[in-house]
Structure 1
Amino acid sequence: MSEERKVPGRQARRRRSALGALSGVLAGYASLAVAELVSAAVRPEAGPVVAVGGAAIDRTPAPVKDWAIRTFGTQDKLVLQLGILLVLVLIALALGVFAAHHRRVGAAGVSLFGVVGAFAATERPDSTGFVDALPSLVGAVAGAGLLYVLAGAVRGAPERSAVAGQEPANAEVGTEPVNAEAGAEPVNAEAGAARTPAPRTAVHLPVTATTTRGTARPEVGRNPAERQQTDVGQQTDRDEQADEPERTERTERTERTERTERTERTERTDENAQAQEDTRPDGEQLPNQRPNQRLTQRPNQPPNQPPNQRLSRRLNRWPGGSPRRRFLTLAAGSAVAATAAGALGRSLNGSRGAGAIASRARIVLPAPVSHAPPVPRAARLAVKGISPFLTPGKDLYRVDTALVVPKIDAGQWRLRIHGKGVTRPVTLSFDDLLRRDLIERHITLTCVSNEVGGPYTGNIRWLGVRLADLLAECGVHPPSKGGPADQLVARSVDGMTLGSPVEDVMDGRDALLAIGMNGEPLTFDHGFPVRMVVPGLYGYVSACKWLQELELTTFEDFDPYWVRRDWARRAPIKTASRIDTPKPLAQLEPGPVTIAGVAWAQRRGIERVEVRIDDGPWQDARLAAEDTRDTWRQWSLSWQAVPGNHSLTVRATDGTGQVQTSRRAKTVPDGASGHHSVVITVD
């Protein structure tokens, strides 16, 4: 078979695959949209993208997770969700192409991914049970059904055969115009039937001769000339009989060529002509039909074609015109319906948080019984580019695993305190906390994922209830005083668990159940209505957001979320310092340059900061006044910059005299270490 004869079939298969891929994407889009709508009736966290994303976060190795935070910062969750959607699109494309040829299997593939989403939703730590599986399951059913229908429309479209001389398997039978004149070839061959030429057989009568009148007379009695003529005729017949196979082969080759040409002419016929041919009344002449042509089978005749071809014919007669228009109509309609469902679901999910937003707006924070000490004027350095002493709430870093920020109505919030050594378990409401004595403190919060010189630290004015007092009222004693529990496990509404040493929480530091930050109620991103803050501990062992439970237990009995992922059980904050200005790779002019930044060592304080230019000696920086030992300190150094490339390095010494180590360490398992350096150019 020549390459030219294969091209139409290839093009048809490519068209079918392309339409199948589009069908898969539309089915996936509809599945997610329906799931979004159903999740509005369950809870937003039960949506398939959120559930699968949460499962992916839970199963991501700590180094990979740390890399994501370091690379994408607070946008890591957005990148994860976009990555999930990209993977779903690729899978939908593959399932759509497969469904174009095996639509039941393609639809089953969509259903399988619904099962995966349902499993992920029900296995989340904050799962409410089987009801969380409904968004994924219902969405999968909708997507599978749509893919089945769209794939059927794709399969119902006329497909050109890749075999020369054959009509497509789903072409309509009975629309073959033929020539009424004897010997004329039909314009279109019947679908799926390649005609075989009738054998041409020569009949020879060796003992008779045919006269011009067509009558035979016997050989006997004829003169020699006549017999010689008869012998010549018989020899001619024998020669023709010997040449008959060759003529038959030539005839077959000619007819195959003619069939190929007729097929190519049929392939060039547009769909409008085909639709006209289907719907012409009996006996009416087509625009491109010669007067001596007729339809070999009338539209009202029973079809003489296989069942799958009759089904295809019925599909092609479906309201909407040609199969292509039918597919486009279905595709456009499903896209519009899916968009409407998704928009409605998103709107309803957004309205679910309206009560929480309203409850936060109604909160009036009481005045604390113990205000934060006034910040010394000298604690703030007037240096352009340095981090402000108090971090605005909108600029405080956010590192957590929640793909959907919980929105909790403060009026419905409850905190349960129980566990080992708790003689008086208690359940508190938000109003109960507001009626207690509140204290206000400046505390620098630091994330364990913060690289050397990284941005994941901030200094906030917190307002809350002293946690040690609350635990004491419940009968809790630290291990140093005979208490049986050495770990305080905090549980969030999203299932996160963090473990803090009971001894640290009750050693006199200002560990808080915080309800306010910088004079306002907590924001939703940062744990509204209540979160924990424990000075001196990295956030992953102390700063539980969206708090709903405190359980007293032991490190032996329970491993919190991050400990199960190879992070340390105990994580005091390491002494660290950072250069805020000049920025890395900055280009400066020769002359006076101010190098400035911040340093922190919560619970120990900062006593000294030193800066080194290139490989020169360490120089003491000017320290801003200390607010408390739980806050960072600003520092600065004036330097006469000279032309060239320079390396600037900083180190700090804490209140115990311990100098910040130069040994580089990654964030896992208990925080990064090393000196922060920046490279600049002076010219």
Structure 2
Amino acid sequence: MSNLTERRRGTSLLAALAGILAAGVVLGIAELAGAFFRASATPIVAMGSTFIDFTPPWLKEFAIDTFGTNDKLALLVGMGITIALLAAVLGIVAFRRWALGVAGVLAMGAIILACVLTRAGASLPDAVPTVVGTGAGLLALRWLVARLRHATVAPSPAPSASVTPVTPVTPVTPDGERPGATTATAATAATAVPRTASRRGFFAAVGVTAVVAGAAAGGGRLLAGARTNIAAVRDGLRFPAPASPAPALPAGVQSPVAGVTPFVTPNGDFYRIDTALSVPQLTTEDWVLRVHGMVEEEFELSFQDLLDADLIERHVTLTCVSNPVGGYLAGTAKWLGYPLREVLARARPLDGADMVLSTSSDGFSASTPLPVLQDDRDAILAIAMNDEPLPVEHGFPVRMVVPGLYGYVSATKWVVDLEVTRFADRTAYWTDRGWSEEGPIKTMARVEVPQSFASVDAGSVMIGGVAWSQQRGITRVEVSVDGGGWEDVTLAAEASVDTWRQWSHELTLESGLHTVRARATDRVDGLQTEERAETVPDGASGWQTVQFTVR
């Protein structure tokens, strides 16, 4: 490979680096400016949220199956790689033809702007962070490209008398045009600037740009956090004693098998699946719930209204519709909140209404059958989880908790709007994407110990897990070992029909490869179906099989 080809390749790599750093400036400055606007006004959040909105169900399921609760992190990493690649290409284009580079940057800015302005509740001022960031990125790119050109065209010191002089390369102007032939005076002057010195100047510019981008992004996040100060609001909250406390958990609700999940899931371990790339930052002062639609009385509720109401406290197991057979997207917590049936009793729904469309502050919506929210189940507007204010990631300050329904049709976090309507008239976020309108939770048994592909000692082998059938209750769990007959296991105590039930069983196994299959029975529908179904459109079904080795 010739020296000229190697030099051109090296220059292209440096131009790509300039493009990537300029993109960093766009995002960093936009993040800083976005601290004074809504979180969805920043490019990363707007683009990521738009991508989530248009994600087909199969891709969503792939992300959850592959990355679990780290699906958003995987999305951000993927976005970062994509942005870096596009920025690298724009950097090379801008170095070779500045006008085309500008057009590319402006086109990307327009796409980001479209993502920002199409978010729920967006207004024209939300465009400011993107516009400011794009302008700053263009300035950074022009500065870096100019420094790189200077380093590229600066010739080495004048050759000695014994070397035949080489005609200097005609430089390229920042506008991508080649000027006339370089005069002898200009060429002589150029020899006064060594190429190494010019390259040092370019790399110094690279360092300054990287620092500016990083400082802007970090400063924006710190400033946004300081302005909302959600942590201080949560720490200062004090809840009244509930009018109806949670019944004490009976002795023996926990399976005796080591390794089975705790009966009450700690807040930090509770699964999180939602569409919010950036967690909404609502304070208790900001929060207002609007109740309207097909009702006799429309009204609003403040957070203080909830604190002044007769609150109830209940243990409820929540399950995600994206949970595969044997999956871990389920958890049990003690929730404190105000019954939704009382909210609807005040609103007095009109004849013909059959659905409540709940909407979060970030635009997500869920369609819940109206009768479910009016019956005697303890569906609530929850304000506390396991004796502390809701974690921000789980809906602070207020979310919905509805026993017996998958979260995509009921468990709206950061809820700010309840519209009483009809399924025939309105649709919700996931029903628009091919999921069923109603999402009753299916009966499921899960083997937790031993885990798949585990290795255990021969002899007495303890197995255990959980089963759930919210609103119906678990009455029986059976296991089949190595394809043999079904054996009843020992059920742990039942807390309520709205919580999962744990189980245990002792086996005597010889060394070798073994399998355990589990199934549950509930009080209403009977035996859990063996028919295998994927999560789309209304939840997975089938009997879980675990394979393990006995030493």
Which 4+ stretches in 1 moved above 3 angstroms?
A: 170-173, 175-178, 189-193, 304-322
Q: Give the drift of 1:158.
A: 4.3
Cα distance 1:537–1:189, how it changes in 2: closer, same or farther (>3 A)? closer
Q: How does 1:132-531 map to 2 (within 5 A)?
A: 132-159=126-153, 188=165, 191=168, 306=181, 322-354=197-229, 356-420=230-294, 422-476=295-349, 483-531=351-399
What's the counterpart of residue 682 of structure 1?
550
- What SS class does the counterpart of residue 244 from structure 2 fall into? coil
- What SS class does the counterpart of residue 444 from structure 1 fall into? strand
- What SS class does the counterpart of residue 157 from structure 1 fall into? helix
Contact 1:115–1:137 (CA<8 Å) still a contact in 2? no
Cα distance 1:657–1:83, how it changes in 2: closer, same or farther (>3 A)? closer
Identify the match of residue 81 of structure 1 among 60, 71, 76: 76
Q: Give the drift of 1:319.
A: 12
Contact 1:537–1:571 (CA<8 Å) still a contact in 2? yes
What's the counterpart of residue 535 of structure 1?
403
Matched, 1:101 2:96: yes
Identity among equivalent positions (%) equals 43
Q: What whole-Å deviation, never above 9, does each CA across 1:306-335 have from its counterpart, x for those lacking one?
A: 379999999998999943233223222222
Contact 1:172–1:191 (CA<8 Å) still a contact in 2? no
Q: What whole-Å deviation, never above 9, does each CA across 1:440-491 have from its counterpart, x for those lacking one?
A: 11111111011111101111111111110111111226xxxxx321110111
Q: Give the drift of 1:141.
A: 1.7
Normalising to structure 1: TM-score of the pair?
Answer: 0.76
Amino acid at match of 1:76: D
Contact 1:605–1:655 (CA<8 Å) still a contact in 2? yes
Q: What whole-Å deviation, never above 9, does each CA across 1:551-598 have from its counterpart, x for those lacking one?
A: 011111111000000000011011111011111111111111111111
Q: What whole-Å deviation, never above 9, does each CA across 1:49-80 have from its counterpart, x for those lacking one?
A: 11111111111110110111111111110110
Contact 1:101–1:155 (CA<8 Å) still a contact in 2? no
CA distance in 1, matches of 2:226, 2:324: 38
Cα distance 1:385–1:488, how it changes in 2: closer, same or farther (>3 A)? same
Amino acid at match of 1:516: A
Moved more, 649-658 or 327-336: 327-336
Q: What whole-Å deviation, never above 9, does each CA across 1:140-168 have from its counterpart, x for those lacking one?
A: 22112221222222223345xxxxxxxxx
- What SS class does the counterpart of residue 48 from structure 2 fall into? helix
* CA radius of gyration, larger in: 1
CA distance in 1, matches of 2:416, 2:16: 46
Matched, 1:35 2:12: no
Contact 2:470–2:497 (CA<8 Å) still a contact in 1? yes
Amino acid at match of 1:351: A
Cα distance 1:334–1:324, how it changes in 2: closer, same or farther (>3 A)? same
- What SS class does the counterpart of residue 332 from structure 2 fall into? strand
Q: Give the drift of 1:186.
A: 8.7
What's the counterpart of residue 216 of structure 1?
none
CA distance in 2, matches of 1:462, 1:8: 70
Contact 1:461–1:518 (CA<8 Å) still a contact in 2? yes
What's the counterpart of residue 110 of structure 2?
115
Matched, 1:24 2:19: yes
Contact 2:319–2:407 (CA<8 Å) still a contact in 1? yes
CA distance in 1, matches of 2:394, 2:187: 59
Contact 2:255–2:465 (CA<8 Å) still a contact in 1? no
What's the counterpart of residue 12 of structure 1?
7
CA distance in 2, matches of 1:645, 1:84: 42
Cα distance 1:172–1:615, how it changes in 2: closer, same or farther (>3 A)? closer
Q: Give the drift of 1:305.
A: 6.1
Identify the match of residue 49 of structure 2 among 39, 42, 54: 54
Matched, 1:547 2:415: yes
Q: What whole-Å deviation, never above 9, does each CA across 1:92-114 have from its counterpart, x for those lacking one?
A: 11112222211221232122212
Q: What whole-Å deviation, never above 9, does each CA across 1:179-232 have from its counterpart, x for those lacking one?
A: xxxxxx995355469xxxxxxxxxxxxxxxxxxxxxxxxxxxxxxxxxxxxxxx
- What SS class does the counterpart of residue 616 from structure 1 fall into? coil
Cα distance 1:533–1:314, how it changes in 2: closer, same or farther (>3 A)? farther
Cα distance 1:102–1:371, how it changes in 2: closer, same or farther (>3 A)? same
- What SS class does the counterpart of residue 381 from structure 1 fall into? coil
Contact 1:408–1:528 (CA<8 Å) still a contact in 2? yes
- What SS class does the counterpart of residue 205 from structure 2 fall into? helix
CA distance in 1, matches of 2:426, 2:16: 48
- What SS class does the counterpart of residue 23 from structure 2 fall into? helix
Contact 2:156–2:191 (CA<8 Å) still a contact in 1? no
CA distance in 2, matches of 1:666, 1:341: 44
- What SS class does the counterpart of residue 403 from structure 2 fall into? coil
RMSD: 2.5
Cα distance 1:316–1:548, how it changes in 2: closer, same or farther (>3 A)? farther
Contact 1:591–1:640 (CA<8 Å) still a contact in 2? yes
Amino acid at match of 1:135: P
CA distance in 1, matches of 2:160, 2:34: 58
Identify the match of residue 64 of structure 2 among 59, 66, 69: 69
Amino acid at match of 2:241: A
- What SS class does the counterpart of residue 105 from structure 1 fall into? helix
- What SS class does the counterpart of residue 49 from structure 1 fall into? helix
What's the counterpart of residue 572 of structure 1?
440
Cα distance 1:307–1:349, how it changes in 2: closer, same or farther (>3 A)? farther
Q: Give the drift of 1:410.
A: 0.6
Identify the match of residue 123 of structure 2 among 129, 144, 155: 129
Contact 2:40–2:119 (CA<8 Å) still a contact in 1? no
Contact 2:168–2:187 (CA<8 Å) still a contact in 1? no
Amino acid at match of 2:232: A
What's the counterpart of residue 85 of structure 2?
90
CA distance in 1, matches of 2:194, 2:287: 56
What's the counterpart of residue 654 of structure 1?
522
CA distance in 2, matches of 1:445, 1:637: 25
CA distance in 2, matches of 1:309, 1:52: 52
